[in-house]
Amino acid sequence: MDRRTFLRAGALAAAAAWPATRALACPEEHYKLSLAAYSCRKFLDLKNPTMTLEEFIKKCAEWGCQGTELTEYYFQKPVTPEYIQKLKETVRAAGLEVTGTPIGNKFTLPPGEARDKEVARVKQWIDVSADLGSPAIRIFAGDAAKGTSEADARKWAVECIEACLPHAEKRNVILALENHGGIVATAEGMLEFNKAVKSKWFGFNLDGGNFRGEDPYADIERCAPFAVTCQVKAEISRAGKKEDADYGKIVGILRKANYKGFVTLEYESAEDPMTAIPKHLAALKKVL
């Protein structure tokens, strides 16, 4: 079975051999909805928090989601086993599933201490993801530093991903690379990683709002077959100009690609999140 077939096989997600991926399996005709904690970043910011991650989880349930995406930035530090257990209990009590654990990292680094620290940190969060029952961990690639070629930056990022893959497999967590600027700003940049990394424990976190070319929907369509997690924003950027996202079109692309995961709203627009998020979740539900 090739890697793409493996990731698409929703039935395998319930198998005991891969229990952590059960959250990836949703019927194609009716996707489940999740909400990214980043949507509530102004409240969750640890510098001046007015909302805890536990409160965010409860809001996900209140707003009618079936899943919750828990971004590393808003975990209480240090992250203890007791804290992880508390989050798990909150998720379970809310009737939700953890659909992903996004982290911030930089893999476009040459061999050395700085790169070793990034790899070690990602491995640490693979453990957190596994302990939470998250099926996937969102990772970044990064930018090519000044004086560094894009080819070298990509090579180093591939090496870092490959260094993390054995631990990801051991803990039953997929590494989900996001199209987040830098060397993965374009569909071509993302697909280079798909060619280079040969592992069923690697896929894409497809962010529908991060492509900024002439036809973002075409870029989404090119990458959708390799998506293991998916974030949808309220807006897309077409050649640098923002416009409202066509949720129906995006969901249609996911269906065509036989995507099997949750659809996660990551709200980043100007309107107040507490007012806007419920409206956008309702709009997504209509097309899911």
Residue 140: C-alpha distances to residues 52, 62, 177, 221 (Å)? 25, 30, 6, 20
Whether 264 is in a domain gets the answer: yes
Quote the number of domains for the chain. 1
Whether 51 is in a domain gets the answer: yes
Residue the block writes with tokens 């790169």 = 115
Separation of CA 274 from chain center: 22
Single pTM value for the model: 0.90
Whether 162 is in a domain gets the answer: yes
Whether 132 is in a domain gets the answer: yes
Q: What is the pLDDT of residues 194-252, one digit of tens each?
A: 999 999 999 999 999 999 999 999 999 999 999 999 999 999 999 989 999 999 999 99
Q: What is the pLDDT of residues 32-62, one digit of tens each?
A: 999 999 999 999 999 999 999 999 999 999 9
Calpha distance 147→91 (Å, rounded): 45
Q: What is the pLDDT of residues 254-281, one digit of tens each?
A: 999 999 999 999 999 999 999 999 999 9
pLDDT bucket at 143, cuts 50 / 70 / 90: very high
CATH code for the domain in which residue 176 is found = 3.20.20.150
The confidence score (pLDDT) of residue 284 equals: 97
Whether 21 is in a domain gets the answer: no
Classify residue 98 as exposed, middle or buried by CB count within 10 Å of its CB (0-12, 13-18, 19+).
Answer: buried
Whether 20 is in a domain gets the answer: no
Q: Give bridge partners of residue 231 from the DSSP assignment.
A: 207, 264
Print the domain residue range for 65. Answer: 3-15+26-287
Distance in Å from the first CA to the final CA of the chain: 29
Whether 107 is in a domain gets the answer: yes
Q: Give bridge partners of residue 100 from the DSSP assignment.
A: 69
Largest Cα separation within the chain, whole Å, is: 51
Whether 31 is in a domain gets the answer: yes
